[in-house]
Amino acid sequence: MSGPRQRTVSRPVTLEGCGLHSGEPASLTLSPADPGTGLRFRRTDLDGSPEVPATLDHVVGTELGTTLGSGEAKIMTVEHVLAALAAMRIDNASIDVSGPEVPIRDGSSADFIAALDDAGATEQEAEARVITVASPVSLTLSGGQSYVATAAQGLRISATIDFQHASIGRQFGSFLVDDEGFRAEIAPARTFGFMADAKALRARGLALGASLENTVVLDDAGVMNGGLRFHDEFLRHKVADVAGDLALLGARVDAHIVADRPSHTGNVALAKALAAHHLQASRPSLMDIARIMEVLPHRYPMLLVDRIVEFVDGERIVGIKNVTINEPFFQGHYPGHPIMPGVLIVEAMAQTGGLLLMEKVEAMGDKVVYFMTMDAVKFRRPVTPGDTLRLELEVVQMRREVCKMRGKAYVEGTLAAEAEFMAKVMDK
């Protein structure tokens, strides 16, 4: 076993309190779990104690906190305990919750760290799953939010926040999210809110349990609690939220995350992009560039497929194109703001589709694939240096030497372009 081992808590430990948004009494018990179990919540107050795995597939809400759900069972405000578990490298745990929400305690992750210290940790005979970043992953959302993830040892989160309030303003910081760094620099930072929003939130059934005991509250005069734990406590709590939401990947994360105006919605979107990136980067090539060049007639600078990672003869193919600043078209296509020409994205899809017909081409001898039509071409987002195109082509119809295909190009799980193609195998 070459990598780090999985860990679980050594014994059960319980915390009690109330829910920040529900205002209802809540208790949480962390218990040991077998290797490979992951982090799994259970609603012990509901019939059958239904499970809700702490995974991206079970995110059902990201407004003022992250909510997980499975069927009728939902658990709100999971990010604080998940951040503590991730920082302490706890891979497997059963998290029993009585009530609709994780207890807010003092509004930070500090009590969860203390509980984990009390429970202790046990190494297990299984290798921990670790997500790494092979090439930069970037994400831009509405409202000025953006994220970039790059390769790093361990998890570092650098974040910027900007609020139109004199007590917050614009803040930036960079933190290493490990046991020592998290417990000292991030875990004590409390959640925060604005008195001006309280009435409207409570009318919507939110912040019903919020008080000065568990929330840093700001009014027009400043902080109502009498003081802050850090001068940039607001920023540090946002960093804790990023760490907690990334725990929904079900793996440890080795990356440097640079986040501008992070939110739970953005954090979850980033986690999904990292999951797609990791899946793509870790998938072995079915066809490398040498094999591709044996089949396709294209050469530099017009060869736009680097490898094939999925292939089902006559049905489907998935190719990868790594877009770098060294591409010759960036010299003249928006040189001050480099964007891959849309026509070349379509060409990359077409070349991948041509490889789908490779067995037919090779079996017939001196043949080549020509494209007859391209329809329903749509561009959804720009492709820039550092992006990795995932080119997915599937057969819609196959008749003798003529094939109709549907193609889609993705960047980190987000659709960048799509088109329909008609191709024919012909003599060279």
Catalytic residue list contains 298: no
pLDDT tens-digit readout, 163-221: 999 999 999 999 999 999 999 999 999 999 999 999 999 999 999 999 999 999 999 99
Residue of 21, 58, 264, 277 marked catalytic: 264
pLDDT score of 362 more than 70: no
pLDDT score of 359 more than 90: no
Which is it for the CA torsion 256, 258, 264, 267, positive or negative? Answer: negative
Number of Cβ within 10 Å of residue 172's Cβ equals 12
Highest mean pLDDT among 285-294, 332-341, 374-383: 374-383
Name the token pair of 268: 């979850």
Contact criterion met (CB below 8 Å) for 297 and 174: no
Q: Is 239 exposed, middle or buried (0-12, 13-18, 19+ CB in 10 A)?
A: buried
Q: Give the whole-angstrom CA distance, residue 164 versus residue 99.
A: 35
pLDDT score of 137 more than 60: yes
361 confidence band (pLDDT: 50, 70, 90):
low
pLDDT of residue 310: 86
In degrees to the nearest 10, what's the CA dihedral of 55, 56, 57, 63? Answer: 120
Specify the residue for token string 């799980």.
Answer: 413
336 confidence band (pLDDT: 50, 70, 90):
confident
Q: Which residues contact 387 (CB under 8 A, 6 or more apart)?
A: 138, 323, 340, 411, 412, 416
pLDDT score of 363 more than 60: no
pLDDT of residue 136: 87
pLDDT of residue 257: 97
CA angle 89, 53, 135 (to 5 degrees): 55
Out of 22-36, 63-77, 365-379, least confident range? 365-379
Task: Please name every residue paired with 420 in a beta bridge, in sequence order, or none if there are none.
Answer: 375, 406
Which region holds residue 231: left if phi is over 0, alpha if psi is between -120 and 50, else beta? alpha
Contact criterion met (CB below 8 Å) for 420 and 375: yes
Does a cis peptide bond (omega within 30 degrees of 0) precede residue 301? Answer: yes
pLDDT tens-digit readout, 225-248: 989 999 999 999 999 999 999 999
Number of Cβ within 10 Å of residue 337's Cβ equals 8
Q: Give the whole-angstrom CA distance, residue 345 versus residue 407.
A: 11
Contact criterion met (CB below 8 Å) for 84 and 98: no
pLDDT cut 70: percent of the chain above it: 96
356 confidence band (pLDDT: 50, 70, 90):
confident
pLDDT of residue 365: 56
Out of 8-12, 102-106, 107-111, 318-322, least confident range? 318-322
pLDDT score of 337 more than 90: no
Q: How many CA atoms lie within 13 A of 366 on its CB side?
A: 2
Average pLDDT over residues 409-414: 86
Phi, psi of 346 (to 5 degrees): -65, -40
pLDDT score of 108 more than 80: yes
Average pLDDT over the chain reads 91
Q: Give the whole-angstrom CA distance, residue 268 versus residue 246.
A: 7
pLDDT score of 360 more than 70: no
Catalytic residue list contains 337: no
* Full set of structural domains in the chain with CATH: 5-281 (3.30.230.20), 289-427 (3.10.129.10)
